[in-house]
């Protein structure tokens, strides 16, 4: 209450010196609260209005108001940080008392300068007033410093308290860690006991296994005896089937000569051989005989019957790599594409995938260019990888750019494309059953010289059944290079679209559970307006021309580069 009375006395003196602010006395607080901040701000506004009225504004007035402003800033900051502290309240009260004294002095000075009364003029000489005001401002700064120092002490006290709390927490954590270590040691001891028990059990199992092995040896001896008896029975039955096995006997020899002309059922790109003629003669001879079971055939029989040469496709790839004459920019493009993360994702992702590499709008539609070299390089790498894993990796390849002529029956038609892929698959996977191999043989041997879309679709059905018969742990790569070279004439374009659609279906999501992974790579040196619509945007990878800053290719994706989806 003493502080409140001091504030009221100081403010009464402040108000009695200015007739213009008599009504301001009624705003003095009635208790010792801390609402005096608004009161001081109001007093400062009145002083400024009075100074404006009397055109009085000198250095004394400016220094006084500035000191009050700085003190109020410190008061607000310290009061906000340490509001519950009683000592802080006391210091703020003392600061308010000094502020009111400064306000009183400033008001007297403004009143003196405005009215010019003789008595006040004698009492308030400028030098005397400046000295008094300087003393008050010094006291104001001192109180402000005391307030700030007390705030620092409070912060240090709070910091020490927090440090003590942290120290206690760390000590508790150390105790918990020690308990955890002790528990871990006990767990290790238990595991050691378990290991010793397992070693004992292993010794017992070994003794049992030795006894089982002896019984297995006797069983294997019985199986070998049974196999010998079955072999003898097969040899005795083979004589009765000699007449009906002519096709099998003929197909064991490779094709040697070409007879004149070609039969319409001779197949696509498959010459009519002496073996084929013998087959037809055999059929005529056996037509009048009683029907008998068709002899068993294997993959080698089918490949020999159609005159398949696995080296032809590899020759196409080597021709591209040897004959290509690339510029420095295209050579750099090949280097970047073959090491690009997009191609890496296509090859290594553990699921089916589709990737269509097309040249950018500035690239020429030419054979043995950069994009063709990329496809040939990938095919060669897959061939080397397959040699190390022949039972789990399959690689089918067809280079359309090497057979771009529509009159090229060995590879320039859609039927030749699907037949080439089918025969490569039979050559690489020799475990297809006899019924499926017969379908493959008949599809190739009976393919017409002028096939329709239905004929191509039927051959695609056989290829699909072969792909579906692959083991689930296998991965099949299918590379079709330069598909845009098969755009035109209209018939070849339509039939090629049938083949591409079927390959995309094989690599799709439908029915892939429990089947081999299918990865289809298609390329074209430039845009392919006829076939681009078959692919989804995220399956297309466009290789733009190099930029103007140097030999750095710009590889643009039509959409997300993620191609590793289970298709």
pLDDT of residue 454: 95
Phi, psi of 268 (to 5 degrees): -90, 115
Query: pLDDT tens, 220-238?
Result: 777 777 676 666 565 434 3
Q: How confident is the model at residue 567 (pLDDT cuts 50, 70, 90)?
A: very low
pLDDT over 50 (residue 549): no
Residues 6+ apart with CB under 8 A from 350: 517, 564
In whole numbers, what is the pLDDT of the chain averaged over residues?
72
Q: How confident is the model at residue 355 (pLDDT cuts 50, 70, 90)?
A: very high
- 0.75 surpassed by pTM: no
pLDDT of residue 15: 47
267 φψ region: left (φ > 0), alpha (ψ -120 to 50), beta (else): left
pLDDT of residue 428: 93
Phi, psi of 502 (to 5 degrees): -70, -40
Hey, where are the domains in the chain? 2-167, 184-236, 308-557
The fold of 308-557 is Rossmann fold (3.40.50)
Q: Decide: helix, strand or coil at residue 457.
A: helix
pLDDT of residue 231: 62
CA distance 27 to 7: 12
Question: Is the separation of the CB atoms in 339 and 376 below 8 Å?
Answer: no
Q: Check residue 245 and report its DSSP letter.
A: G
Structure tokens at 501: 């659609």
pLDDT of residue 197: 78
Where do runs of H (alpha helix) occur along 471-541? 490-506
Query: pLDDT tens, 470-479?
Result: 998 888 999 9
Give the neighbor-by-neighbor strand order of the sheet with 393-399: 393-399, 475-481, 517-524, 353-359, 540-543, 555-557
CA distance 213 to 207: 10
Rg (CA), the chain: 50
Question: Is the separation of the CB atoms in 274 and 257 below 8 Å?
Answer: yes
Structure tokens at 57: 């504004």
Q: How confident is the model at residue 256 (pLDDT cuts 50, 70, 90)?
A: very low
Structure tokens at 165: 């709390």
Q: Helix crossing, 414-428 with 453-468: angle to 10°? A: 20
pLDDT of residue 171: 75
Map 28-62 to HEC letters. CCCCCCCCHHHHHHHHHHHHHHHHHHCCCCCHHHH
pLDDT of residue 539: 93
E strand or H helix at 458, and its extent? helix 453-468
Query: pLDDT tens, 172-191?
Result: 777 777 888 787 788 788 88
CA distance 468 to 242: 34
pLDDT of residue 194: 84
Query: pLDDT tens, 131-187?
Result: 777 777 787 778 778 877 877 887 788 788 888 888 777 777 777 778 887 877 887
Q: Decide: helix, strand or coil at residue 410.
A: coil
Query: pLDDT tens, 475-512?
Result: 899 999 999 999 988 999 999 999 999 999 999 865 56
Can you say how many angstroms the Cα of residue 81 is from the centroid of all Cα atoms in its chain?
49
Per DSSP (E only), the strands in 245-326 are none
Q: List residues bridging with 522 in a β-sheet.
A: 356, 480
Structure tokens at 12: 């009464």
């Amino acid at each position: 209450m003493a502080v409140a009375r001091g504030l009221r006395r100081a403010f009464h003196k402040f108000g009695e010196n200015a007739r213009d602010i008599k009504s301001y006395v009624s705003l003095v607080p009635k208790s010792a609260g801390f609402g005096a901040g608004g009161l001081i701000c109001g007093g400062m506004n009145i002083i400024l209005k009075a100074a404006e009225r009397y055109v009085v504004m000198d250095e004394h007035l400016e220094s006084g108001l500035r000191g009050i402003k700085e003190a109020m800033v410190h008061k607000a900051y310290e009061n906000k940080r340490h509001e519950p502290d009683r000592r802080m309240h006391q210091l703020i009260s003392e600061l308010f008392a000094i502020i009111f004294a400064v306000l009183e002095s400033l008001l007297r000075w403004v009143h003196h300068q405005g009215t010019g009364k003789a008595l006040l003029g004698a009492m308030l000489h400028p030098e005397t007033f400046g000295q008094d005001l300087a003393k008050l401002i010094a006291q104001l700064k001192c109180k402000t410093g005391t307030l700030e120092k007390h705030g620092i002490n409070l912060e240090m006290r709070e910091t020490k308290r927090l440090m003590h709390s942290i120290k206690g927490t760390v000590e508790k954590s150390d105790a918990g860690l020690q308990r955890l270590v002790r528990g871990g040691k006990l767990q290790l001891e238990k595991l050691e006991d378990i290991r010793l028990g397992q070693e004992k059990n292993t010794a017992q199992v070994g003794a049992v296994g030795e006894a089982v092995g002896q019984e297995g040896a006797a069983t294997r001896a019985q199986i070998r005896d049974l196999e010998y008896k079955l072999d003898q029975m097969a040899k005795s039955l083979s004589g009765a089937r000699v007449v009906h096995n002519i096709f099998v006997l003929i197909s064991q020899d490779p094709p040697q000569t070409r007879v004149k002309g070609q039969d319409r059922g001779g197949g696509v790109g498959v010459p009519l051989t002496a073996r084929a003629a013998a087959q037809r003669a055999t059929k005529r001879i056996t037509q009048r005989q009683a029907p008998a079971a068709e002899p068993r055939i294997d993959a080698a029989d089918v490949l020999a019957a159609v005159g398949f040469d696995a080296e032809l496709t590899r020759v196409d790839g080597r021709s591209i790599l040897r004959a290509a004459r690339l510029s420095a920019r295209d050579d750099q493009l090949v280097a970047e594409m073959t090491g690009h993360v997009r191609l890496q994702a296509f090859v290594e992702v553990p699921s089916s995938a589709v990737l269509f590499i097309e040249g950018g709008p500035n690239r020429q539609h030419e054979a043995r260019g950069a994009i063709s070299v990329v496809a040939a390089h990938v095919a060669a790498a897959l061939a080397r990888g397959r040699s190390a894993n022949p039972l789990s990796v399959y690689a089918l390849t067809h280079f359309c750019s090497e057979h771009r002529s529509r009159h090229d029956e060995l590879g320039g038609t859609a039927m030749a494309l699907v037949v080439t892929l089918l025969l490569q698959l039979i050559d690489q996977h020799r475990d297809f059953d006899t019924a499926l191999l017969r379908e493959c043989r008949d599809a190739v041997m009976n393919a017409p010289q002028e096939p329709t879309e239905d004929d191509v679709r039927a051959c695609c059905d056989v290829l699909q059944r072969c792909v579906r018969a692959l083991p689930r742990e296998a991965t099949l790569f299918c590379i079709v290079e330069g598909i845009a070279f098969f755009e035109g004439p209209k018939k070849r374009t339509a039939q090629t679209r049938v083949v591409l659609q079927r390959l995309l279906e094989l690599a799709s999501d439908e029915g892939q559970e429990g089947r081999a992974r299918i990865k289809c790579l298609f390329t074209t040196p430039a845009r392919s307006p006829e076939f681009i619509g078959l692919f989804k945007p995220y399956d297309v990878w466009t290789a733009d021309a190099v930029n103007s800053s140097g030999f750095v290719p710009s590889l643009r994706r039509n959409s997300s580069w993620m191609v590793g989806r289970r298709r």
